[in-house]
Structures are given as C-alpha cells and as structure tokens.
Amino acid sequence: MFKVGSKLFLGTTGFAAVNLVAYLIFVERLAIGGVALSMLFAALIGVSAAVLMINDGDDETQPRDTALTRASMWPLIAAVGLVLLVLGLVVSQLYFIFGGIVLVAALAEWMVQAWSETASDDPAHNEFAR
C-alpha cells in the first residue's frame, strides 16, 4: 500500500517524465530545458526511491490525538510579498525591496506562529509563548 508521501513523489516523478518526453518531442533535443528536465526527473527518482524505502516514516511514533493548529494569515501575506517581489522585477526597484521585506517578515512570523502552537502540550504555555 502506498502512503501519501509515496503517492506524491511517484506522481510528481511521472509528471516530470511526461513533461520530459513531450519537451524532447516538440522542442529540440539538445536544448537546455531538456537537460534541466532530465536532472529534475533523475532527482525525483532518487527522492521517490528514498520515500519508498523509509515507507513515509513510522506511524507508531506519531501521536494520533494532537489538536489541529489554527488558521494563519501569514501564508496570504507571504503570497502578497511574493507578488510584490515579482512585480518589482518588472516595474520598480521599490516594489522589489518592499516585497522582499514583506516576504521575509511573513515567513518569519509564520514560522514563529507554527512553533508557538506546538511548543508544548499545554495550551496555556503555547498562548504565553505567542
């Protein structure tokens, strides 16, 4: 039985293989894109083999009754920062700098929030850590 991680990496490897074949058929064979897709395919084969060998980790060590973490606004803010970063490549250096600052700040806050929600099993301590 394949677990979630195995399905993900095997599906991604298959998708990379289809893209590589389509690229080699419709675009010239010695293009840099073919080399890049070949390297991506080879790397995904290695990762898929590793995930299959470790069987997605040991389920018995994972606690089953953990509480769900609450929703976070930081992924949305990070996406806005990324849009500003890409927009800054085209429009203005000011957008690029502001987007980079927003992206780094949002990723840092998201990391701190994720850590603080799982700092301990005590919800009061986690609230204090935030």
Q: What is the pLDDT of residues 48-73, one digit of tens each?
A: 888 888 877 666 665 655 666 678 89
One domain for residues 49 and 79? no
Question: Residue 67 falls within a domain, yes or no?
Answer: no
Q: Cα separation of 36 and 49, whole Å? A: 20
Sorted by sequence, the CB contacts under 8 Å of residue 46 that are 6+ apart come out as none
Share of the chain above pLDDT 90, in %: 41
In-domain check, residue 66 = no
Range of the domain at 34: 4-60
Q: How many domains does the chain have?
A: 2
- Same domain assignment for residues 52 and 78: no
On whether residue 117 sits in a domain, the answer given is yes
Residue 65: predicted pLDDT? 57
Would residue 65 count as lying in a domain?
A: no
82 and 55 co-located in one domain: no
**Euclidean distance between CA atoms 125 and 43, whole angstroms:** 42
pTM of the model: 0.49
Q: Does the residue 40 lie in any domain?
A: yes
Evaluate whether residue 130 is within a structural domain: no
Indicate whether 68 belongs to any domain.
no
